[in-house]
Amino acid sequence: MKNSEFTENVIIITGASSGIGRELAIQLAAQGANLSLAGRNENRLNATAERCRQSGARALIVPADLTQAEECRQLIERTVQEYGRIDILINNAGNSIQSNLEEYPDPTALEQMIQINYLGSAYCTFYALPYLKQSRGRLVAISSLAGLNGIPGLSGYVASKHAMTGFFDSLRLELKKDGVSVTVVYPGSVASHPEEILSNKKGANTKLPPGMMSLETCARLTLQAVAKHCRDLVMPPGKIARWMNLLAPGFLDRMILNGIEKDRAKREVNFN
């Protein structure tokens, strides 16, 4: 599908070696985009780039540690050297730790999540802004439903995603006069590693667990929102949770806690 909103656009995707970032790259390649793919794992980046090139797309890889401002600058500069401009920056790279705060080995784990999830996005955005203003381009932040509500066992991750939300919501207002759109995406439960989810000791399953979205669907909905210059995209069940947080926050807290307990029980049945 070469005649699309993204045909010939120069698009940077961070965290492109796996998960949502990889799927975004594959779908954009099929739509004729020129890609710059960033991540820490060079071998996986090469695999993503090769898959994109099979669709006829150009794909530059830039191995980078996005917690380092200088490497973020180099990512932007290498992209401009290769393509001459930047049309879209998709800030997707991130990591998480699932553990109650008291169970952390030490508090520096909080800093690590802030560095990659928030500061990595902020650094890349800072260096890309002059080029995005020139192209009147688009900024995209892949956040999480965790950026809208508290979730027990993910306090550090939630904090980093809330920081992203505040940062990009503020930039949307700052950049309005420059014609640069800002889209913040809030995925829910996504099968980032479907090969692990769709198999267990008893054999292979054919369907994802209820409430879990496929990578293909998540990427497709994201690109639809970016194409329309949407301010945000809240994926199921986030829209309901967003309203409940305003109207009945105590009830929402109980729902979240009950949901986590049910999910833990399901995982024990499926994987033990």
Q: Which amino acid is at 141?
A: A
Q: pLDDT tens-digit profile of 201-247? A: 444 444 555 568 999 999 999 999 999 999 999 987 655 555 555 55
* Burial of 176 (C-beta count, 10 Å sphere; 0-12/13-18/19+): exposed
The reported pLDDT for the residue numbered 199 is 39
3-state secondary structure of 74: helix
Mean local confidence (pLDDT), 240-262: 60
Whether the CA torsion 165, 13, 1, 178 is positive or negative: it is positive
pLDDT > 90 in the chain, percent? 64
The reported pLDDT for the residue numbered 111 is 92
Among the listed residues 204, 117, 98, the one whose alpha carbon sits nearest the alpha carbon of residue 155: 98
Please report, for the chain, how many H helices and E strands are present, in that order.
10, 9
Does the structure show a pLDDT above 50 at 200? no
Place 132 in a pLDDT band, splitting at 50, 70 and 90.
Answer: very high
Q: pLDDT tens-digit profile of 92-121? A: 999 888 888 888 888 888 998 999 999 999
Q: Which amino acid is at 89?
A: L
Q: Which residue numbers are catalytic? A: 157
Does the structure show a pLDDT above 70 at 171? yes
Burial call 117-152: b when 16+ CB within 10 Å, e when fewer: bbbbbbbbbebbbebbeeeebbbbbbbbbbbbbebe
The reported pLDDT for the residue numbered 211 is 63
The reported pLDDT for the residue numbered 204 is 47
- Could you identify the residue written with the tokens 């917690």? 67
Q: Are 160 and 113 in contact (CB under 8 A)?
A: yes
Give the residues across from 12 on adjacent strands. Answer: 36, 89
- Domain positions in the chain: 10-236, 238-272
The reported pLDDT for the residue numbered 4 is 85
- Could you identify the residue written with the tokens 């099979």? 54
CATH class of the domain whose range is 10-236: alpha beta
> CA-CA distance, 193 to 18, in Å (whole number)?
8
Q: Which amino acid is at 107?
A: P
Does the structure show a pLDDT above 60 at 262? no
Give the CA distances from residue 6 to residues 57, 130, 141, 226, in Å, rounded to whole numbers and listed in that order.
Answer: 12, 20, 17, 10
Does the structure show a pLDDT above 80 at 162? yes
